[in-house]
Amino acid sequence: MQIATWNVNSVRSRLTHVVDWLTENPVDVLCLQETKVVDPDFPLAPFEAIGYTAAISGQKSYNGVALLSRQPLDAISAGFSSVLGADTVGELDEQKRVITGVLDGVRIVNLYVPNGSALGSDKYAYKLRWLETLQGYLKALLAENPAVLVCGDFNIALEDIDIHDPEGKETHIMSSPVEREALQGILALGFQDAFRKFTPEGGHFSWWDYRAASFRRNRGWRIDHHYLSPPLYEQAQRCWIDVEPRKREKPSDHTPVVVELNR
């Protein structure tokens, strides 16, 4: 089973890129983030034409997540409220950032974690509250099914080797100690990094800023992750970053990350 994650930075703007990639890399599930389109306008037909179904949760111009799968998924739900209840979640589900479904007994959770904007800002506080809610959400999912794969754009580089130049990381969004601690708290539920199982060294990134020739100079960050619960971590056969889509004209600033499970 192969599952990929990709922040496409607008599925309609990058539609040809995504269809081409799936045609060349027919993964079982592709988890998309930043689809930036309301559900009625999601471009279903091109994906159906190549054999994929879609589960979507979108909003206009911002955020949005989707699961593209070769086989229909079971137990699909969007947002935290479906698991934790609306009273606990409050307004966090107004932004469409969470969608999940089950394939062959594997609970796949697709996330677009808030960026946080700047340390000390309202958006930073929102990000930390969102991560705290995510921890409770995943704990509840694990209680129902021990086979959980969590992937997506986490907007956090967990280790210094995940950043081309970690100088000043303590005051930089996506690498501050508090963000890292929040993510470590989530991983303490039992999740492990699939990519680091196979690639312990630095220099591998999944996001490059559009500015300053960052991609050409490989001045990137690894912020797109697959985290696996213990049974799935044992089944992981490969995990890799496919940089080819980032080389295309007008690409997303992110590129796909794929994990392969022995199932």
How do 29-33 and 2-7 pair as beta strands?
Answer: parallel
Catalytic residue among 28, 153, 193, 224: 153
Q: How many CA atoms lie within 13 A of 257 on its CB side?
A: 27
- 195: tokens are 């990519």
Amino acid at 1: M
Q: Transcribe 138-199 into DSSP letters.
A: HHHHHHH-S-EEEEEE-----SGGGBS--TTGGGSTTS-HHHHHHHHHHHTTT-EEHHHHH-
Do residues 114 and 123 touch, judged by C-beta distance below 8 A?
Answer: yes
With vertex at residue 40, the alpha carbon angle to CA 22 and CA 130, rounded to the nearest 5 degrees, is 80
Q: Catalytic site residue 112?
A: yes
Q: Spell out a b/e string for 81-100, using b for 16 or more CB atoms within 10 Å of the CB, else e.
A: bbbbeeeebeebbebbbbbb
- Candidate list 112, 124, 137, 227, residue with the active-site label: 112
Nearest Cα residue to 2 out of 259, 236, 201: 259
Query: What distance separates the 2 farthest-apart alpha carbons in the chain?
Result: 47
Our answer to whether residue 74 is catalytic in this structure is no
Question: In this structure, are residues 33 and 65 in contact, taking their beta carbons and an 8 Å threshold?
Answer: yes
Residues classed as catalytic: 112, 153
